[in-house]
């Protein structure tokens, strides 16, 4: 494997490709700002030095449901029967107090129908319970997965009742298949044009950023000091729940840069990472067997040449050539374990699972 990686690095450097080449054995997720990393390998892993994930239903505590159907490690958390996880700091206080920006990353797979709230964070009411959203007055951060991956950053009191910030990714999810999601909400950036909500799906970066134009529209303003962070549940009416599995969850109290997102994806064994080759991606191409097609560009686009300068069909603008800031793989950093070759070679060499 090391010889293959070395060969790919040499080929990529010669061709000048915008690909990510990572060392196989030195994959670590960014540490700065990490407030929760849950492996779900067993029931004991729901409690760490930093975070506690309490299995619950709407009536109180329930038994943890760990399954060996894991994407990474030996276990994953199984949702079902209207159960969910409630996350706090180890001392019982709210997990994201004071955070103006956040990053959430995980593996999941869900059933084909229903509402699948993988992540939901909202202020608590006077009884310490998660506040139920009200139409026209929604105030929460959520990731809903059903027909696609839908992210929601709502503070309707600031937006005249409008649900303003909700970039999506992947127009169609395949039921009961693993997919990877990273949500980045950046409201700390000094540049107003960089204050945005962005979602990454299965290593792709759709052109789906929502620039946050309303002053005060931050995670801290939405959640307040006393809030709930929930996995598998949103407190709409009688409750909306997930029916599926989640694995290898990371939550940060800051917005990771694109380079750090690439590092995190590599640490989570995302098999392909492409940020620069394609734009306006809404659905990752699949073969008939349901596996990623590494050689085809998304519908309506052409395969990008080395350097990514060819204009994709139907986009109306040339794809920006990635910057070379330090050699092969510098687009995503040099700390992780995946190789993604563009369609110039018609193949990809990836980390073994």
- Predicted confidence (pLDDT) per residue in 270-328, tens digit: 988 876 543 333 444 433 333 444 433 333 333 333 333 332 333 333 333 333 333 33
| Better pLDDT: 191 or 69 | 69
The predicted pLDDT at position 208 comes to 60
How far is it, in rounded angstroms, from Cα 240 to Cα 78? 16
Q: Which residues are CB-neighbours of 90 under 8 A, at least 6 positions away? A: 47, 48, 49, 50, 51, 52
CB 274: neighbour CB atoms within 10 A? 25
CB 236: neighbour CB atoms within 10 A? 16
Domain boundaries, the chain: 31-255
Residue labelled with tokens 């997102």: 261
Burial class (CB in 10 A: 0-12, 13-18, 19+), 71: buried
Its CATH architecture, for the domain 31-255, is Sandwich (2.60)
Question: At residue 79, what are phi and psi to the nearest 5 degrees?
Answer: -90, 160
Question: At residue 185, what are phi and psi to the nearest 5 degrees?
Answer: -115, 115
> What is the CA angle 17-18-23, rounded to 5?
95
| Better pLDDT: 352 or 276 | 276
Q: Is-contact 263 335, C-beta < 8 A?
A: yes
Is 0.85 surpassed by the pTM of this model? no
């Amino acid at each position: 494997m090391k010889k293959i990686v070395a060969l790919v690095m040499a080929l990529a450097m010669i061709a000048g490709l915008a690909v990510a080449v990572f060392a196989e054995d030195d994959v670590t997720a960014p540490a700065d700002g990490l407030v929760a990393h849950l492996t779900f390998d067993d029931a004991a892993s729901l409690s760490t030095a930093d975070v506690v994930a309490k299995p619950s239903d709407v009536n109180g505590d329930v038994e943890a449901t760990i399954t060996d159907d894991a994407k990474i490690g030996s276990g994953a958390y199984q949702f079902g029967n209207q159960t969910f996880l409630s996350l706090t700091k180890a001392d019982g206080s709210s997990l994201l107090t004071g955070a103006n920006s956040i990053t959430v990353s995980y593996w999941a797979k869900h059933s084909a129908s229903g509402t699948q709230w993988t992540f939901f964070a909202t202020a608590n009411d006077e009884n310490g319970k998660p506040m139920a959203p009200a139409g026209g007055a929604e105030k929460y951060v959520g990731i809903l997965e059903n027909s696609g991956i839908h992210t929601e950053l709502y503070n309707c009191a600031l937006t005249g009742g409008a649900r303003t910030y909700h970039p999506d990714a992947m127009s169609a999810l395949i039921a009961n298949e693993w997919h990877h999601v990273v949500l980045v909400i950046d409201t700390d950036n000094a540049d107003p044009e960089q204050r945005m909500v962005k979602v990454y799906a299965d290593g792709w970066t759709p052109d789906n950023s929502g620039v946050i134009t309303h002053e005060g529209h931050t995670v801290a303003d939405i959640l307040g000091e006393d809030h709930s962070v929930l996995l598998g549940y949103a407190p709409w009416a009688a409750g909306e729940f997930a029916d599926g599995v989640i694995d290898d969850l990371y939550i940060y109290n800051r917005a990771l840069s694109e380079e750090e997102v690439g590092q995190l994806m590599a640490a989570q064994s995302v098999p392909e990472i492409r940020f620069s080759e394609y734009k306006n991606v809404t659905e990752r191409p699949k073969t008939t067997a349901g596996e990623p097609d590494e050689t085809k560009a998304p519908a309506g686009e052409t395969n990008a040449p080395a350097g990514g300068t060819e204009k994709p069909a139907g986009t109306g603008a040339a794809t920006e050539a990635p910057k070379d800031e330090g050699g092969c793989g510098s687009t995503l950093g040099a700390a992780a374990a995946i190789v993604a070759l563009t369609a110039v070679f018609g193949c990809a060499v990836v980390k073994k699972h």
